[in-house]
């Protein structure tokens, strides 16, 4: 099974093809604004919920002591916030249907 990634320019192209009344630069700007708003929201520690698709939230990781795999030496790993995506039921169902058939 081979998988291909859908990148931002592919997404813009697909949206433009399905909406010929919208100019591609307009679609590109809309996608950019949407992504920027999502980044801004997550950066402010807000949750994003898109019904039928899923939700994005930050998972906060505490600082810890890790190991350098090459040397085995202890390394301090700083605390960090990691974006996390949880798919919605409609998305899970659609993916499972296409995987089953």
- What pTM does this model have? 0.79
Q: Are residues 40 and 19 in the same domain?
A: yes
- pLDDT (tens place) for every residue of the chain, 101 residues total: 567 899 999 999 999 999 999 999 999 999 999 999 999 999 999 999 999 999 999 999 999 999 999 999 999 999 999 999 999 999 999 999 988 86
| Number of domains making up the chain | 2
Q: Are residues 63 and 30 in the same domain?
A: no
Q: State how far the alpha carbon of 81 is from the alpha carbons of 14, 39, 54, 59, in Å.
A: 32, 13, 19, 6
Q: Give the domain extent around 32.
A: 9-44
| pLDDT the model gives residue 5 | 92
Enter the tokens of residue 16: 């433009």
| pLDDT the model gives residue 101 | 67
| pLDDT the model gives residue 2 | 61
| Inside any domain, residue 3 | no
Q: Are residues 96 and 54 in the same domain?
A: yes
| Inside any domain, residue 63 | yes
Q: Are residues 62 and 89 in the same domain?
A: yes
């Amino acid at each position: 099974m081979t998988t291909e990634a859908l990148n931002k320019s592919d997404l813009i192209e697909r949206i433009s093809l399905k909406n010929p009344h919208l100019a591609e630069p307009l679609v590109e700007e809309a996608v950019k604004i949407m992504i920027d708003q999502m980044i801004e929201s997550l950066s402010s520690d807000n949750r994003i919920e898109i019904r039928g698709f899923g939700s994005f939230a930050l998972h906060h990781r505490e600082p810890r002591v890790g190991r350098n795999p090459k040397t085995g030496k202890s390394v301090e790993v700083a605390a960090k916030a990691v974006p996390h995506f949880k798919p919605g039921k409609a998305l899970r169902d659609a993916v499972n249907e296409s995987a089953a058939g």
